[in-house]
Structure 1
Amino acid sequence: MNINSDLGEAVGQDEEILPNIDSANVCCAAHAGSINESVATARRCHELGVEVAAHPGFEDRENFGRVEYRLPLPELKGLLRFQIGALAALSKLGYVKAHGALYHVCQADAESAEVLVRVSAEFGLGVMGQPGYGILAACEKLGVKGYREGFADRAYLPNGLLAPRSQPGSVLEPDAAAEQALREIRSGKYDSICLHGDSPGAAATAKRIREAITEAGVETGPLSA
């Protein structure tokens, strides 16, 4: 099992989160953060033995990469090659996980998902996605390693997608997040469980999840090992 979190986005909780996770999805300095932030985050991951993954997103800092854009496929390919390539120049990478709206676009649109998976494969990397949707379907179609992701700190809609952050109760408190993480781990349906590094109280949630899975005797580690 694996615990992942989205970091390097300049929201200030990374140092507290890092000791409690196995993999960090490091911002590629497009939707947030900066090149210096990405370098520092990757370096800190190496010091702590945390796996580094590329976390590309739409170049939309104003909205933190959370507004959906349907880019022409060649433009999307260029965006992904540039961002993943930049992070690959800084660090060995374990996999790719798209950020925010880019993740949701690729989950919903098969062509966008295939671009994400093909570009990731150019770097020899697998891709993380939510089971039952476009990213993992593209991985299966193209013969690229896919990692099944569940979410500890977010409520789900009846269709299995994440509840919008604007919906009351969509971000779970630490104890509830730890309970959900354990349920998902025990289900056997996931390779990795995510907690969002930019959520309020993310550091406390990360600590509580780590405590809970340690108490339950669950062993975790990097995905690409």
Structure 2
Amino acid sequence: MELSRDVEIDSDVERERTGTVTNRDTIDLNSDVGESFGRWELGDDAAILDLVSSANIACGFHAGDPTTIGRTCGWAADRGVRIGAQVGYRDLAGFGRRFVDASVRELTDDVLYQIGGLQALASATGGRVTYVKPHGALYNTVVHHDDHARAVIDAVVAVDPNLPIVGLPGSTLLALAERRGLRTIREAFADRAYTPEGTLVSRREPGAVLHDPAVVAERVVRMVTEGVVEAVDGSDIALDIDSVCVHGDSPDAVTLARAVRDRLGENAIRVASFT
């Protein structure tokens, strides 16, 4: 799929022209990809990568195998899409959606291992890892779990302190990362329901995942232009974000991402990477 020139992903050109990329007229759109395993395929990564500006690529612990991961890195590099390490608990059977009671040392080493593996595969395809984002249960845990948040941060600092960390606004992860001098990227979710407290509704609850493209797209426009999202109780939650995620493992992921991108374009909001 060829993107039209007026919505082309090219954050470097925009920076050279204006000196910065602001959320008033641009937003990063990211998606989880590289989550297939062997002959088992999950999501249409090639199609998603035509629509997003950042790719959260699985690192083998919650999903993905080396061939799948390397191929996805190549697709991202070919499209000029930024590559991020989506690190998770060592939980292939549970797709990384189950809490693992690891020590700080164990989790730090696991995250180090994942980032390093993705760096090698990305480099081999002409790409490079430019940020880190926790996945699944780890993402939700580091919203409030000091030790596991610190483990992720320790790993990033050890690998490359210039790597930004993506997380939920107001989370322990981002607060501790900022104290360590790391750049933080505040993220919202296009296709997930929110509690009144600003956290994600558990996937075990009905209505946790949204599927209507029109509803999802309009929610994203409000996130970007008004800085709010509607919670499940009907209240509006304030959001200050740098990136929006569309989950790549949903059956309707491509349709949702295209609807979001089209609606953003209708509102003169350009999709561009935060890096």
TM-score of the alignment, normalized to the shorter chain, above 0.5? yes
Q: CA RMSD in A?
A: 1.2
For the residue of structure 2 that corresponds to 1:25, the secondary structure is: strand
Task: Give me the identity figure in percent.
Answer: 37
Confirm whether residue 28 of structure 1 aligns to residue 64 of structure 2.
Answer: no
For the residue of structure 1 that corresponds to 2:274, the secondary structure is: coil
Match of 2:217 in 1: 178
Counterpart selection for 1:57 from 66, 78, 88: 88
Counterpart selection for 1:115 from 151, 162, 166: 151
What's the CA shift for 1:191?
0.3
Q: Give the Cα–Cα distance (whole angstroms) in 2 for the partners of residues 174 and 70 of structure 1.
A: 37
Q: Give the Cα–Cα distance (whole angstroms) in 1 for the partners of residues 206 and 157 of structure 2.
A: 38
CA contact (8 A) 2:261 2:271 kept: no
Counterpart selection for 1:106 from 117, 133, 142: 142
Match of 1:158 in 2: 196
Q: Give the Cα–Cα distance (whole angstroms) in 2 for the partners of residues 115 and 197 of structure 1.
A: 26
Match of 2:271 in 1: 220
For the residue of structure 2 that corresponds to 1:108, the secondary structure is: coil
For the residue of structure 2 that corresponds to 1:63, the secondary structure is: coil
What letter is aligned with 2:50? P
What letter is aligned with 2:132? V
Match of 1:48 in 2: 79
For the residue of structure 2 that corresponds to 1:155, the secondary structure is: coil
What's the CA shift for 1:166?
2.6
What letter is aligned with 2:225? R
Match of 1:195 in 2: 246
Q: How does 1:128-167 map to 2 (within 5 A)?
A: 128-167=166-205
1:169-195 Cα deviation digits (max 9, x unpaired): 221121111111111111351000011
TM-score, normalised relative to structure 1: 0.96
Match of 2:20 in 1: none
Change (3 A) 1:220 1:121: farther
What letter is aligned with 1:72? S
1:68-121 Cα deviation digits (max 9, x unpaired): 112111000110110001111222111100110111121121121122122112
Q: Higher helix share goes to which structure?
A: 1
TM-score, normalised relative to structure 2: 0.79
For the residue of structure 2 that corresponds to 1:80, the secondary structure is: helix
What letter is aligned with 2:143? Q
Counterpart selection for 1:93 from 124, 129, 133: 129
Q: State the number of aligned residues.
A: 224
Whichever of the two has the greater Rg, that structure is 2
For the residue of structure 2 that corresponds to 1:97, the secondary structure is: strand
Change (3 A) 1:142 1:17: same
For the residue of structure 1 that corresponds to 2:201, the secondary structure is: coil
For the residue of structure 1 that corresponds to 2:134, the secondary structure is: coil
CA contact (8 A) 1:117 1:126 kept: no
